[in-house]
Amino acid sequence: MDHWEIFDVYKALLAVAAGIILGLEREMKDKVAGLKTITIICLGAALFGILSYRIGGENNPTQIAAYVVSGVGFIGAGAIFKDGFSISGLTTAGIIWLAAAVGLSIGFGEFYLAATFMAGTLIIIFITPFINKIFRSKKVTRQLQLVIERENIEIKTDIFSALHKEGVIAEEKKITLKDDKLEILLEIVLSEDKIKWLLDYLLSIKSIYSFSF
């Protein structure tokens, strides 16, 4: 029979609080899934947990909850974007997944377990920037824009060959013809010690009208 239980109200309030705590960090960084989205996911997962426990009973409370794990994956996938070598949204997708797990834990009444994993996630999120400063990646991604005369288009092949020979990964993003000049936009990934080599190499090619990276 459908009826109110004060314990379920407490679960809903805790799920909202957990969603706000997890979503606030994403909101502050202006991510695609912010406070409102993650709070709703956490609250919805808590409801699924409550329903699973009521319908499945104490012996088998995971009938409905099992689908939350796979279903929330579709929401998380929508937050991931790939642009060339750059991938963004992975952390947001992970937090969406965790928000669902926290909500389910609250729905099942596992409050301490939910709090433990939520605290662990927040610690990871906030200490990662400091760890990255200590163990900084030696690879950098740059946007390389070249402007060459139209009749010197064959120089593009030579540039790609030289980059590849030096271990620089390059992907052509766009070519624009403007005032009889070709503007070529490349996304490159190179080690920091190759930046000076790239500058010297580009300066040595007289066929390049201008460049920037």
Measured distance CA(40)–CA(95) in Å, rounded: 13
Position 9 pLDDT exceeds 60: yes
98, two tokens: 């965790």
pLDDT for 142 equals 79
Cβ burial, residue 165 (10 Å; 0-12/13-18/19+): exposed
DSSP, residue by residue, 120-162: HHHHHHHHHHHHHHHT--SEEEEEEEEEEEGGGTTHHHHHHHH
Residue scoring higher pLDDT (104 or 82)? 104
pLDDT for 137 equals 59
Position 48 pLDDT exceeds 60: yes
Residue scoring higher pLDDT (124 or 61)? 124
Measured distance CA(166)–CA(161) in Å, rounded: 9
Average pLDDT over residues 85-112: 81
Band of residue 136 on the pLDDT scale cut at 50, 70, 90: low
Overall residue count recorded for the chain in this entry: 213
**pTM for the predicted model, two decimal places:** 0.62
Average pLDDT over residues 118-140: 77
Position 2 pLDDT exceeds 60: no
Measured distance CA(138)–CA(192) in Å, rounded: 6
Residue appearing with tokens 């996304």: 187
Q: What angle do CA 202, 196, 163 make, to 5 degrees?
A: 55
Band of residue 165 on the pLDDT scale cut at 50, 70, 90: confident
Domains, the chain: 6-134 (no CATH), 139-212 (3.30.70.260)
pLDDT for 56 equals 65
β-bridge pairing 181-191 and 169-178 = antiparallel
Average confidence score pLDDT of the chain: 79
30, two tokens: 């202006």
Q: Give the end-to-end CA distance of the chain in Å, rounded to a whole number.
A: 67
Residue 146's region, left for phi above 0, alpha for psi from -120 to 50, else beta, is beta
Average pLDDT over residues 1-18: 78
Band of residue 61 on the pLDDT scale cut at 50, 70, 90: low
pLDDT for 62 equals 63
- Torsion sign over Cα 130, 133, 139, 143: positive
Count of other CB atoms within 10 angstroms of residue 147: 16
Position 148 pLDDT exceeds 80: yes
Measured distance CA(170)–CA(48) in Å, rounded: 47
Position 101 pLDDT exceeds 60: yes
> Of the candidates 11, 82, 84, which has an alpha carbon nearest to the alpha carbon of residue 48?
11
Of 61-75, 102-116, 141-155, 172-186, where does the model show the most confidence? 102-116
CB 149 within 8 A of CB 207: yes
Band of residue 86 on the pLDDT scale cut at 50, 70, 90: low
pLDDT for 82 equals 64
β-bridge pairing 86-88 and 81-83 = antiparallel
